[in-house]
Amino acid sequence: MDYEEAKEKIVAGLTKKKSKSKFYFNDLAKILDLKPRVAKKLINQMVTEEVLEYWSSGSTSLYGLKGAGKQAHAEHED
């Protein structure tokens, strides 16, 4: 799978899920239908290009579309 295709799948997959804004890495790997260590390279690139962003509780990390979800709002220091 090339990067652009993966990006489209992820953006479409995450936009579809209205009720959630943050996802486990495994959810993303499942959307791509790839083994985790292969999916990781593509997903890393999406973070670098700011398509995705990390969210961390400190102990657990989640991924979301950049700017999606309530917390982003709270953190824009408005």
Partner 1 sequence: MAKHETPLLDQLESGPWPSFVSDLKQEAESRAKNEKGIEYQIPVDVCEDLLGVLELSFKHGRTHWKHGGIVGVFGYGGGVIGRYCDQPQMFPGVAHFHTMRVNQPAGKFYTTEYLRNICDLWDLRGSGITNMHGSTGDIILLGTTTPQLEEIFFELTHTYNQDLGGSGSNLRTPSDCVGQARCEWACYDTQAICHDLTVEYQDELHRPAFPYKFKFKFDGCPNCCVASIARADISFVGTWRDDIKIDQEAVAAYVGGELPSNGGSHAGRDWGPFDIQKEVIDLCPTECMWLEDGKLMIDNRECTRCMHCINVMPRALRIGDDRGCSMLVGAKAPILDGAQMGSLLVPFIKVEEPYDEIKEVIESIWDYWMEEGKNRERLGELMKRQGFQKLLEMTNIKAVPQHVQEPRHNPYIFWKEDEVEGGFQRDVNEFRKHHQR
Give 53's strand partners.
Answer: 64
Scanning 1-9, 10-18, 57-65 for contacts with partner 1 by CB under 8 A, the matching segment is 57-65
Cβ proximity to partner 1: between 15 and 71 the closer is 71
> Which element (helix H / strand E) includes 63?
strand 61-65
d(CA 33, CA 71): 28
Rule CB under 8 A: is residue 65 a binding residue for partner 1? no
Sign of the CA dihedral 29, 30, 36, 41? negative
Q: DSSP label at 53?
A: E
Scanning 1-9, 10-18, 43-51 for contacts with partner 1 by CB under 8 A, the matching segment is 43-51
The site for partner 1 (CB under 8 A) is made up of 24-26, 35-37, 39-40, 43-44, 47-48, 53-61, 71-72, 74-75, 77
